[in-house]
Amino acid sequence: MTGSAPQASPTERPMRHFTPPQGWMNDPNGLVYHDGEYHLFYQYHPDSLVWGPMHWGHAVSRDLCHWQHLPVALAPDENGMCFSGSAVVDRHDASGLFNGSEGLMAFYTAHRFMDDGEEHYEQEQHLAWSRDNGRSWQKYAGNPVIAPPGFRDFRDPKVIYHEPSRRWVMALACGQHIRFYTSANLLDWQLASEFGDGQGCHTDGPWECPDLFELPVEGDQAETSRWILVVGVGIDHEGPQDTLGSFTQYFIGHFDGERFHNDYPDEPLLLMDQGRDFYAVQSFSDVPDRRLAIAWLNNWQYAGHTPEAGWRGAMTLPRALYLAATDQGVRLHQRFAPELTRSVLPLEVALPDAPLGEGQHLLATPEADLVRGELTLELSADSRLALSLQQGGQQQLHLTAGDDITKVAYRREGHSGVARFDQHFPGERLAGELDGRRIHLQWWVDRGSVEMLINGERRQLSVTLASFVAPHHHSITMEVHSGSAEIHDFRLDAG
């Protein structure tokens, strides 16, 4: 970036996004709902602002908006660090650890370095359990529940209960594959299958943080349900960097309790989010009526070099996941969790009474740091425009309409004086195409981020971007470069 690029400075804490009390945070772990509480665990280094010996931090919420920090749940020991994993409710005491009652089970990867340096390590799967709704944890005396397999990257266990086979299933990231293990008691695990060869996107980095769940297909009676396998694609910190950095892909298909069958084997990449800062996403276990997910709002290309203020790292807002039948097949879509709107108040906005032609247009000046926005745009066939959502031009969403499709791109600027950040944070990228020229945009702006869900007639794009501006200093503007845009259903809420 040139010297005229905007400075990226430390922000105040977000008003709605989860951040650690201090220190470093990355992947969400062990997301589980139990006894009226949402549990959020996370990769945590409390004593530093960069990645280091990994703990499991812990917080709980009853409304997905306000989080209570609890003591560290898992800490490194002689077996190594506590890497990412998942948690479930053992409702019927399949493990025999709860004296016939129910309790929480956390599965994580124990990561230990060998004697000859940090590039030589061993990973195995461990278990911890809690009888008091996560307030205290006991590491299982029989660890490891799955021993090291003889290769290096073997991590991030995601455990689910597969009702048709009446067994527990664990998905594990193994190099650039996913292995599936099964168990009747959550303690003894058997390898069932492997997925990944010739499937999806493979880079120099490892596959990480798998998730596995089933969802109904909405809006199409011919479709019933599909299984979704979510996989994070990391970066090789020593090798050449892909332009995306770390990103999240997913597969749609069928799962029979042992094997995952991809319905779209010729699709090289299905992205869960087309932005730069949506990684290590995990969905909550044991939520009875929906599939909720949270991601780490960062990218490994620059995560350790972002501006900080005594803490570093944030999570995305919780989102509800669903499947939609589109003209390209079944696809995974998202909605912001409705609980998020309970403590925001509507703002008065003026709806333009005519299409907006070429020029710069001021849409609103919220003067707030936490803003939820929603509007529908009707674009002319030749229109090109740029939206700035309280970013002062430092981030813009670009829409280019053709006859039947609308192309969506985004641009981000900013520098901090740190080479790794300045090299990878700014840039411009095509997010994708939407069907039609009637575009529905929902967004949340908070200190540190912009999250957007952009819908066409049937398709959706999700764009999540870290931000280092103060939103209340900026307005919502639209610059029409050509053609025209008519605004419908414009709404703003502020917290």
CA proximity to 357, closest of 483, 476, 477, 478? 483
**Sheet containing 68-74, strands listed edge to edge, beginning at the edge strand earlier in sequence:** 68-74, 55-61, 37-45, 23-34, 311-312
Residues belonging to the chain = 495
| Residue partners of 152: CB distance under 8 A and separation at least 6 | 121, 122, 123, 175
Q: What is the pLDDT of residue 242?
A: 64
In SS3 terms, the chain reads as CCCCCCECCCCCCCCCCCCCCCEEEEEEEEEEEECCEEEEEEEEECCCCCCCCCEEEEEEECCCCCCEEEEEEECCECCEEEEEEEEEEECCCCCCCCCCCCEEEEEEEEEEEECCEEEEEEEEEEEEEECCCCCCCEECCCCCCECCCCCCCEEEEEEEEECCCCEEEEEEEECCEEEEEEECCCCCCEEEEEECCCCCCCCCCCEEEEEEEEEEEECCCCCCEEEEEEEEECCCCCCCCCCCCCEEEEEEEEECCCCEEECCCCCCCCECCCCCCCEEEEECECCCCCCEEEEECCCCCCHHHCCCCCEECCECCCEEEEEEEECCEEEEEEEECHHHHHHCEEECCCCCCCCECCEEEEEECCCCCCEEEEEEEEECCCCEEEEEECCCCCEEEEEEECCCEEEEEEEECCECCCHHHHHHCCEEEEEEEEECCEEEEEEEEECCEEEEEEECCCCEEEEEEECCCCHHHCCEEEEEEECCEEEEEEEEEEC
pLDDT-flagged residues of the chain (< 50): 1-3
- Who's near 189: CB < 8 A, 6+ residues apart? 125, 145, 146, 170, 181, 182, 183
Among candidate residues 27, 211, 277, 446, the one labeled active-site is 27
Question: According to the model, what pLDDT value does residue 243 have?
Answer: 76
Give 347-350 contacts, CB < 8 A, sequence gap 24+.
347/371, 347/492, 347/493, 347/494, 349/490, 349/491, 349/492
How confident is the model at residue 1, as a pLDDT?
37
Residue 370 in tokens:
């936490």
Residue 27 bears catalytic tag: yes
- Average pLDDT over the chain, rounded to whole? 95
Non-local (6+) Cβ contacts of 111 within 8 A are: 54, 80, 81, 82, 83, 121, 122, 123, 155
Summarize pLDDT for 176-187 with one digit per residue, the tens.
999 999 999 999
Return the sign of the alpha-carbon dihedral for residues 6, 11, 14, 18: positive
What the block records as the tokens of 44 is 């945590």
Residue 238: the pLDDT is 58
Q: Looking at residue 9, what is its pLDDT? A: 81
Cα distance between residue 402 and residue 230, in whole Å: 32
Q: What is the pLDDT at residue 239?
A: 58
- Return the structure tokens found at 161: 């209960």
Q: Calculate the alpha carbon distances from 27 to 84, 142, 447 in Å.
A: 7, 26, 20
The set of residues, in sequence order, having a beta carbon less than 8 Å from that of 59 and lying 6+ positions away, is 18, 39, 40, 42, 67, 68, 69, 70
pLDDT tens for 207-232 read 999 999 999 999 766 678 999 999 99
